[in-house]
Chains A and B, each alone.
Chain A
Amino acid sequence: MSKVYIAGASMTKVDRHYDMGINELYLETFQGLRNTVKEWIKPDTLIVANTYGEAVENSLALGEKLASTSSLQGIRTFRVENGDASGGAAIDLAFTLVKSGVSKTVLVSGVEKTSDYPSKYMTEFYSKTLNKYEFYSGINPASIAALMMNMYMKKYGKDSSYFAKWPIRMHSNAVENPYAYLKFKIDENTYYNSQVISSPLRLFDSGARADGAASVIVTDEENARKISDSPIEILGVSTSSYCYQPELTLPAVKDSFSNVTNKLGGVPKIIEIHDSYSILAALVLESSGLSKYGSSLDDIPDGVNLSGGLKARGYPGGATGIYQLGEIYMQLAGTFPGKRETGESGAIISTGELGSSAYSVVLVRK
């Protein structure tokens, strides 16, 4: 079994890219990779993480289309869709292909467009991850997150000021990240002046959905040394999936993160988590064991979401997990252009919007 490495990463600024479609966003990161690697090796596999391609650009078969767009003819291609956990799922697939020896070098690209349509149209699509009854009765994910927030406040005796701590930290982190969508600081007043989406959940409790693309090269040891002077090893990927239940633990996060950190023998300090809502940030921190139940947002660990997270770096749907992986790779390689922490290991937790699927990944510098 081969060791698996990341040998390069490239990403666009998360933003409302009205002048760019899926092709252009992908190509920007593709060219970015080609311009930064020591030696370009044509990947034998392209995996595209994308959730809303048919909704926003009436486009299917993105694997073969983006391979052709970038002149990667004759290779194995996939498009991976698992809601907003598509990025994590694509990483899992890439890791498995290289680990097993089926592939030597995989280009994993996450790309998403969500800004071209009114939010009511996109909310319709985001709601398709809910069960059939919930979808057809008009419910959206934000309302379910709001119900979780209510349950949390009641169980632990918190008020909404507790949840304001998350976006305040995320916006502070994002200020230094050139790839971030919302590069400005906020305070409690900003939080309380933001509109209520679904009571008590506010706009500033919500990840900022926007367009973006990120690409990473996942490869074996032989090619990793050719492509980069400082490849970072992917020590493991662990995946778990449960049907959503209205509870205050996320069993998929708990299973997958404990499995993958057991391989490391400890918990990394530098971590990117999926904070689609402030309440989800709290539940991910607590279910993963990074924080205690009921007090995670009182004392947010320093190395969490240095990018600004979904809240402020931005939330490019199925591409989010690839951003997270690129950010941790850059942190460990010492090339992340935003807020940095030093460490020998890092992790990501890529989940769906409500945390029912989780992909945990641990990276180590060796």
Chain B
Amino acid sequence: MRLTPPILWRSKGSFYQLVASKCEECGKFTFPVQSVCMHCGSSKVIQEKLSGRGKVVSFTVNYQHRTGFEKEMPQIIGLIELEEGITITAPIVEVSPDELKEGTEVTACLRRARADSTNGLIQYIFKFRPV
């Protein structure tokens, strides 16, 4: 896996701050952030930092690992409905699968994702943990 600083820097809003696009025409959110509304095509979009608070709609315990994520296994992946009404798919941490339930309230937290074994660059990303 090769991580490069420009990709991570360009994505800092989505990866580190949970910033989404909010359409001023239809009012809907698009995540990850982009300059055109995915729902209505309007370019009248603003960037808005989401609250990071939401609840678990559904979750899965994943055992199929990808390069660089071996230490994360097993990994809980949740479908999370945020307070703003947007639903995203994201890792859930600091909880065991037995404790987690649908409807559990969660909040975003910045955590390590993986490291580039070649140049030592560490990538962080927001995940979710129970409140």
Contact = CB atoms under 8 A, between A and B. Distances in A.
Contacts of B90: 133, 137, 139
A176 interface: no
A243 interface: yes
Interface residues of B, number: 36
B66 A140 contact: yes
- Secondary structure dominating the interface of A: helix
A120 B65 contact: yes
B66 A246 contact: no
Contacts, number: 102
B23 to A, nearest CB: 14
B89 A134 contact: yes
A139 B125 contact: no
Interface stretch (A36-44, A197-205, A217-225, A288-296): A197-205
A195 B61 CA distance: 13
A84 B131 CA distance: 38
Contact of B125 (A127, A136, A146, A201): A136
Size category of the A interface is 20 to 34
B77 A143 contact: yes
Contact of A196 (B14, B58, B63, B65): B63
A114 B58 CA distance: 31
B60 A138 contact: no
Contacts of A138: 66, 68-69, 72, 75, 91, 113-114
A199 B60 contact: yes
A119 B65 CA distance: 9
Contact of A137 (B57, B87, B125): B125
B54 to A, nearest CB: 14
Contacts of A119: 64
A154 B31 CA distance: 26
A133 B31 contact: yes
B94 to A, nearest CB: 15
Nearest to B15: A136
A195 B63 contact: yes
What 6 A-B pairs are tightest by C-beta distance, nearest first?
A: A146-B60, A198-B62, A143-B77, A138-B69, A150-B58, A199-B61
Interface of A: 119-121, 123-124, 127, 131-134, 136-140, 142-144, 146-147, 150-151, 154, 195-201, 243, 246
8 contacts: A124-B1, A133-B11, A136-B15, A137-B91, A147-B60, A151-B79, A197-B63, A198-B77
